[in-house]
Structure 1
Amino acid sequence: MSAPASPAAPSDPTRSTATPRRSPGATVIQVVVGDTVLQATLRDNAAARSLLDQLPLTLPIQDFGRQEKTAAPPLPLSMDGMPAGDDAEPLDVGYYAPDGVLVFFYADVGYFAGIARLGHFDTPIDDLIDRPDGTTVTIELAP
């Protein structure tokens, strides 16, 4: 008799290998950490556009609550027309207006006032998650 099949491992969206689907004309950025290039597709909203206006940026990251990595851009992002808050998902690129920080979510944090979703990573972000506080990342338009 063969051994019973083991249950499937729980899904971890931060470590997905799925092929990204992009809208035509979507704006793609890359977050470079060490030798790793992570790609994300931005939404078309005021906060994302004001991030694009500041690129390229090289910023130190900090872990917050074992749920997200944060980095402070030199200028605040525009919140014109943005919802009062949002429910960011793992792999979302966001902005937390009260603290003026970019947020790379790797866990479900639930709804928070002041969160704006800027986009979503198209690639797994393991290398970003595993980096210690103070590691610098470069955020730039993808070629």
Structure 2
Amino acid sequence: MKLKITIEGNTATAILYNTPTSRDFVTMLPLTVEMDDYANTEKIFYPSRKLSVQDAPKGFNPSVGDITLYAPWGNIALFYKDFGYSNGLISLGKITSGIEYFKVKGKIAVTFELEQ
């Protein structure tokens, strides 16, 4: 699945993997949120409900551009820097262009929608 992400007037693109968690995320789209900076490594937000973790691996080792769910907290995390393996982290997809729009300080307004 192809994803269009609008970040304060700029457009990034991503692919979402065909997993139960990613498919559950798609049911929430289109979605406009404010993403907070976390640890100068990722942008995060909390969806309005918990996403499915069916058939998810125990953890994941994220790198730049990964879109993930951190199941213990229920937040979506988009990594703009590499990070180490984390239990409870589930890969949803990957940014294919526009990662630079996430490498800004503070909060950003973001809209996620399926690319038509």
TM-score (normalizing by structure 2): 0.95
Equivalences for 1:1-143 in 2 at 5 Å? 27-133=1-107, 135-143=108-116
Q: What stretches of structure 1 of length at least 5 have no aligned partner? A: 1-26
Of the two structures, which has the highest relative contact order with CA contacts closer than 8 Å and spacing of 6 or more? 2
Q: 1:124: how far off?
A: 3.0
2:9 and 2:30 map into 1 onto residues whose CA distance is 17
How many residues are aligned here?
Answer: 116
Task: Indicate conservation of the 8 Å contact 1:57/1:73, yes or no.
Answer: no
Q: Deviation digits for residues 42-70 of structure 1, max 9, x if unmatched?
A: 11101100000111111110111111000
1:30 and 1:73 map into 2 onto residues whose CA distance is 17
Q: 1:109: how far off?
A: 1.2
1:113 and 1:107 map into 2 onto residues whose CA distance is 18
Identity across the alignment (%):
28
Q: Deviation digits for residues 67-96 of structure 1, max 9, x if unmatched?
A: 100011111110000001111111111110
Q: Deviation digits for residues 96-136 of structure 1, max 9, x if unmatched?
A: 01111111101111110110000100103112221522x22
Secondary structure of residue in 2 paired with 1:61: strand
**Larger strand share, 1 or 2:** 2
Return the index of the structure with the highest Cα Rg.
1
* Alignment RMSD: 1.0
TM-score (normalizing by structure 1): 0.78
2:10 and 2:105 map into 1 onto residues whose CA distance is 11
Task: Indicate conservation of the 8 Å contact 2:41/2:81, yes or no.
Answer: yes
2:13 and 2:45 map into 1 onto residues whose CA distance is 17
